[in-house]
Structure 1
Amino acid sequence: MTAPAPTPATAAAPAASTVRPDLLLLREGDDVAVATRDLAPGDVALGADGLRVAVRDAVPRGHKVATRAVAAGGSVRKYGQVIGVATVPVAAGEHVHAHNLGFEEGEREHELGGTRTVLPVPPGPRPTFRGYRRADGRVGTRNFLAILTSVNCSASTARMIAAQFPAEALAAYGDVDGVVPLTHQSGCGMVPDSEGGQMLLRTLRGYAAHPNVGAVLVLGLGCEMLPTDRLTTRAGSFLGMPGVGAPPPVADPLLASIPDGTLVRSLTIQDVGGVRATVRAGVEAIREMLPELDRCAREDVDVSELVLGLNCGGSDGYSGITANPALGWASDRLVAYGGTSALAETPEVFGAEHLLTRRAVDADVATRLLDRIDWWRGYAAAGGGSLDNNPSPGNKAGGLTTILEKSLGAVAKGGQADLSAVYAYAEPMAPHGGFVFMDTPGYDPVSVTGLVAGGANLVVFTTGRGSVFGCRPTPSIKVATNTPMYERMAEDMDLDAGPIADGAATVAEVGQVLFDRMLAVASGERTVSEELEIGTEEFIPWHVGTVT
């Protein structure tokens, strides 16, 4: 019996077992297996279906051990896919990692979509959650008042205003989740109509118009290149990045104005009379908005109103075995009910993009994803790097060696549903849109900022090393890939997917628990990152282009 692997052909998860194997072989024919405990030289490690390996080296838990000999230059397979090449001869039982496994991109067959997979809807009543129905029809899972800055110069003032509204000051407003300052490092010293300028504008508008934001105070300085009035009006179109190439066209790259029904106030520091005067005016504006914002009330809505952002950070050797496949199961369940689920982190699907293109609904969607991969090649090269600079040191310490291996585990978050659309960074995602992809960097805060700007009203974040992450105004559910880390950081994690590797639970069982938790959080149950008020410093728009 083999453990489930993150490919579109994943079969039903095996039944839970009370016997914990030493090794997990993820596909028949793989050259490596994953250790479920620390292995020492001389150990005889056992796996399912009679797998037996005499261990030659110390192999940390979550790392790879060779199940057979591989010649120097030979391909090494995991998940049934090539994850690199042996840089020296590798004997069965040896630890396989950066010392003997190297990156080689190789060739991958890219089928250009055309699939139509119908995910079954479970029998019985449709799930619901209690959300905030907005005037434009979208549904929020939270009800925040956001202080949105047009430029870094107004960031300190925004924080001073927000500091006047701690949780205890909002106790009288039971349907207000908080006053959150959304500050950033840009807004001036840039070319407003460049790709980077338009990306920032789209991101800020996405937050101002977000269904989790019922009121917004837009705060500017007064002399910046991106003035406050541009956050509520349409602007020009994209320009390409010199030497890199333009991104693909998008249906509506600039967002509409803030929806009717959202409370909006705008202040510029220079017009009001300085920082102190602006703090006083901002506090007064918020006090006027709070009673009206508090009149919003939760109501029962269909599960299809969820727009789920999928992300992982601090990944390890278990990510593609436990938490990511369980999230993929929950993602498929949401898509089956008509919701939207968005995968992201383009550099971390590199090497596994062929598993996504074959699931695209048509050739145009598949080609658009490949175009983004090509854009990233040029972008990385222009910055003096390459896409195989990933994984991070923490990823490697957790057992991941090459970007190919990391990507194969990362795409498991997307389950098996058809890929229906590919979006630019922070582009608004269509509700009831199925499984989609958004072009973002792999850096967690920047990636999730794009997903939230695109409309994600819920995020699930998987981690193997223990990322401490939040993304206000959208709740983020953190899922641990392994039980030792979960137990060590229990106050920072929402769910443990480690029992999958231990044989104590199946992917489907943990996926169902996660799906139920998603509905509970969407209805108002707080996540651990919300309890710690983590998520304001993690608002980091992707900066692309020239700073002048």
Structure 2
Amino acid sequence: MTATAMSSSSFQPNARVIRLHADDDVVISLDQLVSGTHIESEGIAVAGLVPPGHKMATRAIEAGSAVRRYGQIIGFASQPIRAGQHVHTHNLAMGDFARDHAHGAEARPTPRAAEPASFEGIVRDDGRVATRNYIGILTSVNCSATVARAIADHFRRDIHPEMLAAFPNIDGVVALTHGAGCAVDPEGEGLAILQRTLGGYACHPNFASVLVIGLGCETNQIAKLLATQGLQHSERLHSFTIQDTGGTTRTIAHGIERIEAMLPQANAVRRQTVPASHLVVGLQCGGSDGYSGISANPVLGAAVDLLVAHGGTAILSETPEIYGAEHLLTRRAQTPEVGRKLVERIRWWEAYCARNGAAMDNNPSAGNKAGGLSTVLEKSLGGIAKAGSTNLVDVYEYAQPVTARGLVFMDTPGYDPISATGQVAGGANLICFTTGRGSAYGCAPSPSFKLATNTALWQRQSDDMDLNCGEVLEGTQSIEELGARLFRMLLDTASGQPSRSERHGYGQQEFVPWQISVVT
């Protein structure tokens, strides 16, 4: 049983620990385990303290030996480990080992739902379907960020509710700014990524209309930006610069006037019933813990399987956080070519890290480690559980338009705002985000739906969470049951029901395009 295929029948919880796979060398604690506590299911006693969500050895492990969780290698013992001892960063380390990519060896026909599910979406003139209806303000360069925010603030419902009172079908006016756009190679890969990202947002179906605002003298010239992305000025796409408009005050006034002219047409929409096949869901996990790969990620994976069965699309990303587990995805590649494309992205990252003096195993973060994750291998194996069990049908570079239906992969960093920004640029009209430590995140113009991995987090931070997957750990809900519930909730969210992060106003600050340019 692989991490991606894990179901509710994959482990038998008792009062203290969870075993994920018969071949595992560790079990996962559900509570604080104290020395001397007898673990009846394993026939051993705890030796020392094991925090909740952390690992305990079920057998003696020699130094240098592989340690398994999910039936897969998560690292190697850096010192002898006794049965019952806490297994973590003090005695578990990374190491090299062969992985059989076996491209396409486990590809299977994709099950299809007998009766397609639906949601209430907004159908644009070109047939694309939106889950939200925003007016967007994009900037070509950091220099125009202040102006863009000033224009958007003029229409904020929490500050000026009267400005959009007559336009109830508009979800808001948002300014998505960034810190790049100049002092970079005009023909380089970094600027091309930024332009591709901005282009993806400019034509995103969740935007009824868009303004693009620049300074005027930046490297990222608006005319070239539009040309490279195949965009043209129209009723729904306008642009201007601060220098041409006559300075800050006049530019803000001009922008407000432009937005006011866009409002009536943007408001002239209605939701209608559309197939779930129009859903494109970006898969994210942040602030992961030792429970992420047991509860929230497999629950999301079960919902992804349902989405794919109904003809929809799910985008798995965060390349550094599938590192060491990529062989489980290549085996599910629809064709060998798709599997090789994924390995090529892994190799790009290895070279990228090497030339920048970094390493692919610089994960997990401090919070991940506190939550029980010891190595990037362990984090990756739990992370890919979000992808469910269907075939991997294609692989995309950052912010490329996603055109395939089914489970796809987009190459992004592991940093959630950058990763989700690329997914939305590629067409994601909904983001689904799992967290074990607690994340405060949103992603305009696409709603972000958050899953808590454990009940303690749900109780502590339910203000930011949309679903408690801790019920899986407690045995009150199966992964399949919660996955089906999540799928229905995602349809409701796509139909206009606001997520927690939307209620809090998250989404504008979290727009973070990936910057790989040398800044001069």
Question: What TM-score bracket applies, with the shorter chain setting the length?
Answer: over 0.9
- Match of residue 366 from structure 1: 339
Q: Give 1:43's match in structure 2, choosing from 37, 40, 49.
A: 37
Write out aligned runs for 1:95-494 (5 A): 95-113=86-104, 115-123=106-114, 125-167=115-157, 168=161, 169-234=163-228, 255-257=229-231, 263-430=236-403, 433-494=405-466
Aligned partners of 1:71, 1:360: CA distance in 2, in Å?
A: 36
Letter in 2 for 1:317: G
1:469 deviates by: 0.7
The one of 20, 43, 47 aligned to 1:26: 20
Q: Please report how far the alpha carbon of residue 203 of structure 1 lies from its aligned counterpart in structure 2 after TM superposition.
A: 0.2
Q: In 2 relative to 1, CA 15–312 (structure 1 residues): closer, same or farther, beyond 3 Å?
A: closer
Give the SS at the match of 2:8. coil
Deviation, 1:164, is 0.3
Distance in 1 (CA, whole Å) between partners of 2:230 and 2:481 is: 41
Q: Matched residues in 1 for 2:455 and 2:512: separation?
A: 30
Distance 1:256 1:435, change over 3 A: farther
Relative distance call for 1:259 and 1:399 in structure 2 (3 A) is farther
Say if 1:5 and 1:26, in contact at 8 Å, map to a contact too.
no
Give the CA deviation at 1:135.
2.3
Q: TM-score if structure 1 supplies the norm length?
A: 0.92
Shift of 1:171: 2.5
What's the secondary structure of 1:14's corresponding residue?
Answer: helix
2:499 pairs with one of 527, 538, 545: 527
Q: Percent identity?
A: 50
Whole-angstrom CA distance in 2 between matches of 1:129 and 1:329: 19
1:237 aligns with none
- Corresponding residue of 2:8: 13
CA contact (8 A) 1:114 1:359 kept: yes
- Report SS of the residue matched to 1:224: coil
Checking the alignment, whether the CA contact within 8 Å between 1:15 and 1:506 is kept in structure 2 is no
Q: Which runs of structure 1 show a deviation greater than 3 angstroms over 4 or more consecutive aligned residues?
A: none
In 2: Cα distance, 1:7 partner to 1:334 partner: 16
The C-alpha deviation readout for 1:298-320, integer Å capped at 9, x for no partner, is 11110000001001000000000
Is 2:284–2:433's contact at 8 Å kept on the other side of the alignment? yes
- Check the 8 A contact 2:66/2:75 in 1, yes or no: yes
Displacement of 1:57 in angstroms is 1.1
Deviation digits for residues 376-397 of structure 1, max 9, x if unmatched?
Answer: 0111122211011100000000
Q: How far, CA to CA, are the matches of 2:181 and 2:192 in structure 1?
A: 11
Deviates more, 1:521-530 or 1:109-118: 109-118
The residue aligned with 2:514 is 542
Q: 1:324 to 1:226 in 2, by over 3 A?
A: same
- The alignment status of 1:89 with 2:80, answered yes or no, reads yes
Residue 56 of structure 1 aligns to which amino acid in structure 2? A
> In the alignment, residue 528 of structure 1 is paired with which amino acid?
R
Deviations 1:456-500 (A, max 9, x none): 001100000001111111000000000001100010101000010
Instruction: Please give the secondary structure, in 1, of the residue aligned with 2:451.
Output: strand
Aligned-residue offset at 1:161: 0.6
Contact kept? 2:107, 2:331, Cα under 8 Å = no
Instruction: Flag structure 1 segments of 5+ consecutive residues without an equivalent.
Output: 235-254
Query: Take 1:494 and 1:546, find their aligned partners in 2: how far apart are those partners?
Result: 39
On the 8 A contact 1:32/1:67 being kept in 2, the answer is yes
Cα distance in 2 between the residues matched to 1:122 and 1:60: 42
Paired residues, what number? 516
Q: Aligned equivalents of 1:16 and 1:68: distance in 2?
A: 18
Give the conservation status (yes or no) of the 8 Å contact 2:76–2:95: yes
**Is the 2:282–2:314 contact (alpha carbons within 8 Å) kept by the matching residues of 1?**
yes
Tell me the secondary structure at the aligned position of residue 9 of structure 2: coil
Which amino acid is 2:475 matched to? G
Cα distance in structure 1, aligned partners of 2:495 and 2:472: 27
Q: Which residue of 1 aligns with 2:46?
A: 55
User: Distance in 2 between the 1:30 and 1:116 partners?
Assistant: 25
Report the RMSD for the aligned CA atoms in angstroms. 1.6
Q: Partner of 1:248 in structure 2?
A: none
Contact persistence 1:20–1:503 (CA under 8 A): no
Match of 2:490 among 509, 514, 518: 518
Structure 1, 458-467 or 107-116: larger mean CA deviation: 107-116
SS of 1:529's partner is helix
Q: Distance in 2 between matches of 1:221 and 1:6?
A: 49
Query: Does the aligned pair in 1 maintain the 2:10–2:21 contact within 8 Å?
Result: no
CA-to-aligned-CA distance 1:388-409 (integer Å, 9 cap, x gap): 1100000000000000000000
- 1:467 and 1:419 mapped to 2: Cα distance? 28
Q: Which moved more, 1:60-69 or 1:19-28?
A: 19-28
Q: Report if the CA contact (8 A) 1:16-1:505 is conserved.
A: no
1:208, 1:258 within 8 Å by CA — same for their partners in 2?
Answer: no
Deviations 1:47-82 (A, max 9, x none): xxx333300111000000001110011110000000
In structure 2, distance between residues paired with 1:365 and 1:256:
27
Output the amino acid matched with 1:363: P
Question: Deviations for 1:231-263, whole angstroms, at most 9, x for unmatched residues?
Answer: 3222xxxxxxxxxxxxxxxxxxxx442697x61
Q: Distance in 2 between matches of 1:316 and 1:40?
A: 20
Cα pair distance change 1:306/1:131, threshold 3 Å: same
SS in 1 for 2:339: helix
Contact 2:34 2:49 in 1 (8 A): yes
Q: Is 1:500 equivalent to 2:472 in the alignment?
A: yes
1:7 is paired with a residue whose SS is helix
Deviations 1:183-218 (A, max 9, x none): 000111111221101000000000001011110011
How far 1:426 moved relative to its partner?
Answer: 0.1
Counterpart CA distance in 1 for 2:232 and 2:474 is 48
TM-score, length of structure 2 as denominator length: 0.97
Tell which deviates more after alignment, 392-401 or 19-28. 19-28
SS at match of 2:308: helix
